[in-house]
């Protein structure tokens, strides 16, 4: 009897090849963006980096790994189910671990409700879809892969939006950073005058 999961996954192959290619490209671009903005990161901004930048990179990585696993020709229903369950539960835990910092940033008006939606609610919904897909696959549900596709699309969209937010933040920080004065206008003591 042919494996219905293998047959179902074959119909999704083009989708996951597209998603994997897009996410791999965006992972590379995130490294470039982070490198270009690296002068804005200090010891004081490490928590913000872990709360806002690292998850954005990981959204792309999750889509990339999900795409890679789904196109493995010998992937089993049990393996995929357990992997999705573990990924979803662990990712939800990580997502909730950033809540105290986000709450502090919200109280000090560094972030707003839009940030809660894009950095916490939508990613959490995506990770919940991973859990739902894992459970549905274990139960043999025929439409389980639709939820996984939805989670992948959400993570890709959230990652793109949050990467854009990061680049805008870099630009705004660069514009607000005082520029060094022209050295040719300095006096002999090195002070501007």
- Does a structural domain hold residue 111? yes
Q: Is the pLDDT of residue 28 over 50?
A: yes
- Does a structural domain hold residue 180? no
- Does a structural domain hold residue 54? yes
Higher pLDDT, 85 or 182: 85
Residue range 151-160, pLDDT digits in tens: 999 999 999 9
- Average pLDDT estimate for 168-177: 73
- Does a structural domain hold residue 61? yes
pTM attached to this predicted model = 0.78
Domain count, the chain: 1
Q: Is the pLDDT of residue 126 over 90?
A: yes
Range of the domain at 63: 4-170
- Does a structural domain hold residue 53? yes
How long, in residues, is the chain?
193
Supply the DSSP symbol for 44.
Answer: G
What does the mean pLDDT of the chain come to?
A: 81
The confidence score (pLDDT) of residue 178 equals: 58
Do 59 and 158 form a contact (C-beta atoms < 8 A)? Answer: yes
- Does a structural domain hold residue 32? yes
- Does a structural domain hold residue 181? no
Do 150 and 128 form a contact (C-beta atoms < 8 A)? Answer: no
- Average pLDDT estimate for 138-166: 91
The confidence score (pLDDT) of residue 117 equals: 84
What is the C-alpha to C-alpha distance for residues 160 and 26, in angstroms, rounded to an integer?
A: 8
């Amino acid at each position: 009897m042919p494996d219905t999961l293998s047959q179902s996954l074959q119909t999704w192959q083009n989708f996951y090849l597209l998603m994997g290619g897009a996410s791999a490209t965006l992972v590379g671009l995130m490294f470039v963006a982070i490198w270009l903005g690296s002068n804005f990161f200090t010891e004081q901004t490490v928590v913000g980096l872990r709360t806002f930048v690292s998850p954005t990179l990981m959204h792309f990585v999750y889509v990339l790994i999900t795409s890679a696993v789904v196109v493995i020709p010998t992937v089993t229903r049990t393996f995929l189910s357990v992997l999705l369950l573990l990924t979803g539960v662990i990712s939800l835990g990580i997502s909730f671990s950033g809540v105290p910092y986000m709450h502090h940033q919200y109280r000090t008006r560094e972030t707003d409700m839009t940030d809660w939606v894009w950095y916490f609610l939508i990613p959490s919904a995506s990770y919940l879809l991973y859990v739902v897909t894992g459970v549905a696959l274990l139960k043999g549900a025929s439409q389980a892969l639709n939820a996984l596709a939805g989670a992948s699309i959400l993570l890709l969209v959230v990652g793109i939006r949050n990467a854009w937010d990061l680049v805008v933040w870099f630009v705004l920080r660069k514009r607000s950073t005082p520029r060094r004065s022209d050295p040719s206008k300095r006096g002999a003591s090195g002070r501007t005058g």
